Structure 1
Amino acid sequence: MTRSPTAKLDIIEALRFFAAMSVVFVHIPTVRAGHFGVDAFFIISGFVMMLSTRVSGEQFFLKRLIRIVPTYWLFTLGVFAIALVLPGLLNNTTANVEHLLKSLAFIPFDKNGAGHLPVLFLGWTLNYEMYFYLVFAIALTISHRYRAPLAALGIFAVWLIGAGSDSFPLQVYHNFIVYEFVLGMLVYLLLAERSLDQAAMLVAILLLAAALSDDSFAHRFYIFGLPAAVLIALALIMFADKTLPPLLLTLGGASYALYLTHPYVIQVFDKVTHWFSGTPTQQMLALVLSLVLVNLLAVAVYLLLERPLRDHLRRKLLRPRRQTRDATG
């Protein structure tokens, strides 16, 4: 990988779009395929956290909060309002204030017996993301240079504690899926820094966790996570010297909004048209139109809400970057 960090982030934006689209296909009634998208997101997150802190970890956690929290909170409150006013539109979500507060605080809970599902049900992945950000931020404060192995050790330690815990959040963090963040950091160390010593530390932690795990090789880490890590690494290598289309980068920027909103768009579209259960022609039209609609809404949310709000909060909350090498971080 010879291009600038900005170019690498361009590639990541494209990968985020494809990961989000794979999750979209999971929720299309006539497709139901693409489950590896979530795993790809976690691996991408591990890579990006390393890349974005390559020079400095200054204000890292605040930057991640600004990136993730505002849009998620707005849509979580929107879903809660629907549960309050039109509860029949939702399946397992009720207007439970405790559930709302835990969702906004990224605290895992069992939603009405349905398992680890916040008010906005896809927020379960964001609970893992925020957990990883917190562990990574702690690792950064201890040592910038060794942030990857320290973060991996932190994940491993919490994972061990969760094995025998009655705490629902700790049980959630005991899911082997947490090691997909470690895979992302490993991809960064191998491709961007070529740090074989630290990469070896991460591999050792992964192997030790696998040896201690009571999960079978049917766990999604092995079925989806490992192949996704290889595909992401190959994409980073193959497109390191390519200029990507602006439209693809815009769609990549809108991938977060796409991820949060698409299930509800598809659900409303299906309730209005019933085409997903109609004739083959109607099913094909439903597929095409729903894909167009979810992406149009996502881009609109990104350009009109998410990006302006994020930029405003950055100006208000972040300290100006120093005119030194830290400015590149």
Structure 2
Amino acid sequence: MQDYISIQYLRAVAALMVVAYHILTANLVKYDGETGWLAGGVDIFFVISGFIMVQSTRDRDYSPAQFYARRIIRIVPIYWIATLAVIQNMQWEWVHAVKSFFFIPYLNPETQNFMPILQPGWTLNFEMFFYLIFGFSLLLREKFRFFAVAVCLIVLVSVGLVFKPAGAPGFYTNPIMLEFLLGMFIARFGIRLPFLCAPIAILAIPFLWEAVDHRELSLGLPAAIIVASSLTVDTKIPKLPFLLRLGDASYAIYLFHLSALGLVAALLGPYAIPPFVMILAGLMMASLAGLSIHHFIEIPMNGFLKGLYVRKMERRPIKQSVTNI
């Protein structure tokens, strides 16, 4: 599969959107305006995930076991490390730790939301469930995979809308699951929109967030438009090494940014720092932390685990690309 420069850039942007959201909502900066739309970085990630899963398995005979092994190696170890980094400073019970480590949604007594101990990990509960469904589709012929996953996701969301189940069933039937399907749709049918649609969607997000009560419409649909529009100019945009590295490190930035922001608060909080400087410091610290962890921990660890397990399972080695990030 080819490397998509636009996808890398969007990953960097999505991660920094989430960082900015938490800077403005965690009392690092006193800001009374609406910031919820910045959480749309998560929705961009979900659309990208659906897109990449289709693209990375196109014309390849992956078994579900091979697919799951690659996803687990990519997602789980660094997530466990991030969870261990924060668990010592929190009150938790062993059942919460087990559910957090194994991507089982539960009602966090501290936040009163379905969040694991590492709060950004709520999105990974959705990701891993999507991977579980998508992996089973690899048992089918390629032309049937998209439709099988689409039916499954639509049925799940429909059940949620009709029966409104509580607990984990309610979590897994959230309409936000349809954002993965939007990304799959873009990949399966080669959807490309005029690039002008991207800035229009970006400008519309804050207004849609205020006006539309359904996240999959106010944030998910614009995210899909942004992805489909960016792919149109993918071969024309320049390769900017720093942005590409930020895209590579976006997962580490996402996992560790709250710890980085805590450090910024400890260092700069006691002083009368202008809001703009505090925002810039938060973005820089989160980026630096993510880049460092990605380079010194994530890359060596993933390489070791792939060499130990995945490459022994697969007869055909697969070239390192954007699919592995």
Both structures adopt the same fold (TM-score exceeding 0.5): yes
- Aligned mate of 1:6, from 2, 6, 11: 2
Per-residue Cα deviation, 1:284-307 (whole angstroms, up to 9, x for no partner): 221222211111110000000011
**2:239 corresponding residue in structure 1:** 244
User: What is the deviation of 1:165?
Assistant: 6.2
Per-residue Cα deviation, 1:96-155 (whole angstroms, up to 9, x for no partner): 111110011101100116111100001000000000000001111133322111111111
**2:171 corresponding residue in structure 1:** 172
Tell me the amino acid that sits aligned with residue 118 of structure 1: P
User: What is the deviation of 1:282?
Assistant: 2.5
- Aligned mate of 1:295, from 277, 287, 291: 287
2:17 matches 1:18: no
Give structure 1 stretches of 5+ with no counterpart.
84-93, 194-215
Moved over 4 A (4+): 323-329
Per-residue Cα deviation, 1:214-254 (whole angstroms, up to 9, x for no partner): xx952111111111111111111112343412222111110
- Aligned mate of 2:98, from 97, 101, 125: 101
Partners of 2:191 and 2:228 within 8 A in 1: no
Distance 1:303 1:324 in 2: 22
Matches within 5 A, 1:81-96: 81-83=88-90, 94-96=91-93
**2:201 corresponding residue in structure 1:** none
Per-residue Cα deviation, 1:149-172 (whole angstroms, up to 9, x for no partner): 111111123333444364511100
Specify whether residues 165 and 222 from structure 1 end up closer, same or farther in structure 2 by C-alpha distance, changes over 3 A only. closer
**2:69 corresponding residue in structure 1:** 62
Give structure 2 stretches of 5+ with no counterpart.
193-210
2:118 matches 1:120: yes
Specify whether residues 323 and 108 from structure 1 end up closer, same or farther in structure 2 by C-alpha distance, changes over 3 A only. closer
User: RCO (CA 8 Å, sep 6+): is it higher in 1 or 2?
Assistant: 2
Partners of 1:20 and 1:258 within 8 A in 2: yes
Partners of 2:99 and 2:105 within 8 A in 1: yes
TM-score by length of 1: 0.81
Partners of 1:47 and 1:187 within 8 A in 2: yes
Distance 1:72 1:223 in 2: 28
Distance 1:290 1:45 in 2: 26
User: What is the deviation of 1:173?
Assistant: 1.4
Per-residue Cα deviation, 1:175-225 (whole angstroms, up to 9, x for no partner): 1100000000011123279xxxxxxxxxxxxxxxxxxxxxx9521111111
2:195 matches 1:191: no
Specify whether residues 150 and 95 from structure 1 end up closer, same or farther in structure 2 by C-alpha distance, changes over 3 A only. same
Matches within 5 A, 1:1-329: 5-8=1-4, 10-29=5-24, 30=29, 32=35, 34-56=38-60, 57-58=62-63, 59-83=66-90, 94-112=91-109, 114-162=112-160, 163-164=162-163, 166-191=165-190, 217-274=212-269, 279=272, 282-320=274-312, 321-322=314-315
